[in-house]
Amino acid sequence: MLDWTFCVDGPLPIPSDPTLLMEHPTTAPDVPLKNRSLAALLALTWPGMGHVYQGRKAKGLLYFLCIFGLYAVGFALGEGANVYWTWVNPLRNPEHFRLYYLGQFWVGLPAWPALIQATLIHQGFQPLFNGFMAAPMLDPTMDNGVREVMQEVVRRVFSLHQKYGGLKEIGDIYTTIAGLLNVLAIYDAFEGPAVRQEATSTADVSSTSEAESA
């Protein structure tokens, strides 16, 4: 026995008994999820890649264009200096803790070089590629070679405000939201779409309704 409830796309059958949910899958039928864990991992690694692996290529392309596109524009708005991480305790050193990166991280590979740079600096090594995606932070304990590179990073980041005003902040928002949106894409790769049953038209829904009442 099914109750009718209304969602964004019209009426969808919901079992009145919660135990019947097992009989009614929570994902759309015929969505090939393959190895769901691998798909989720691929989606985390690169936006859209999990869906391409599942054969949902158009959706993968949509996620890639939307998420990576948003990230790339945000990255350009900060000239690459707005995606970085620091290994600091947020309770002891809140001004150097990079909250935005907790969102940016989920974009995947495009954001992960920041983790490598932060780890190198934290261990006392010189960052790679002249401090590309390194945190603009100077520490008295840094040796001269590292300090020289980091001074250039700091100078560059602070010059962004003089050149572009608030653009860097918009870049922060773009890159962070891109990462958070990829969490939705990862979930979609793992679980399939969130709807209960796909009905592409009201005719499909009404025919289902007649069948249920019969």
1, 22, 58, 214: which one contacts other proteins (CB under 8 A)?
58
Residue choice 13, 53, 54, 59 for contact with other proteins (CB under 8 A): 59
Q: How far apart are the first and last CA of the chain?
A: 11
Assess 9 for contact with other proteins (CB under 8 A): yes
Decide: is 73 part of the binding site for other proteins (CB under 8 A): yes
**Among the residue ranges 16-24, 34-42, 116-124, 190-198, the one whose residues contact other proteins (CB under 8 A):** 190-198
205: contact with other proteins by CB under 8 A: no
Q: Which stretch binds other proteins (CB under 8 A): 16-24, 70-78, 95-103, 137-145?
A: 70-78
Residues 6+ apart with CB under 8 A from 59: 48, 51, 188
Reduce the secondary structure of 63-112 to three states and give it as a string.
HHHHHHHHHHHHHHHCCCCCCCCCCCCCCCCHHHCCCCHHHHHHHCHHHC
* Length of the chain measured in residues: 214
**Contact with other proteins (CB under 8 A): which of 166, 202, 207, 212?**
166
- DSSP label at 213? H
- Which of 87, 170, 99, 89 has the alpha carbon at shortest distance from 134? 87
Q: Binding marks (x or -) toward other proteins, 108..147, rule CB under 8 A?
A: ---------------------xx-x---------------
Q: Tell me: does residue 154 bind other proteins (CB under 8 A).
A: no
Nearer to other proteins, 13 or 192 (CB): 192
Q: Does residue 63 touch other proteins according to CB under 8 A?
A: yes
**Residue 26: alpha-carbon gap to chain centroid:** 23
Rounded Cα distance, 60 and 68, in Å? 11
Residue 129's region, left for phi above 0, alpha for psi from -120 to 50, else beta, is left
Residue 4 backbone dihedrals phi, psi, to 5 degrees: -110, 135
**E strands within the chain?**
2-7, 10-15
187 binds other proteins (CB under 8 A): yes
Identified binder of other proteins from the candidate list 12, 118, 174, 175, rule CB under 8 A: 174
- List the one residue from 43, 77, 135, 146 that touches other proteins (CB under 8 A): 77
- Measure the CA–CA gap between 121 and 146, rounded to whole angstroms: 8
Question: For binding to other proteins (CB under 8 A), which residues are involved?
Answer: 8-9, 28, 31, 56, 58-59, 62-63, 66-67, 69-70, 73, 75-77, 79-81, 129-130, 132, 156, 163-167, 170, 173-174, 177-178, 181, 184-185, 187-188, 192-195, 198, 200-201
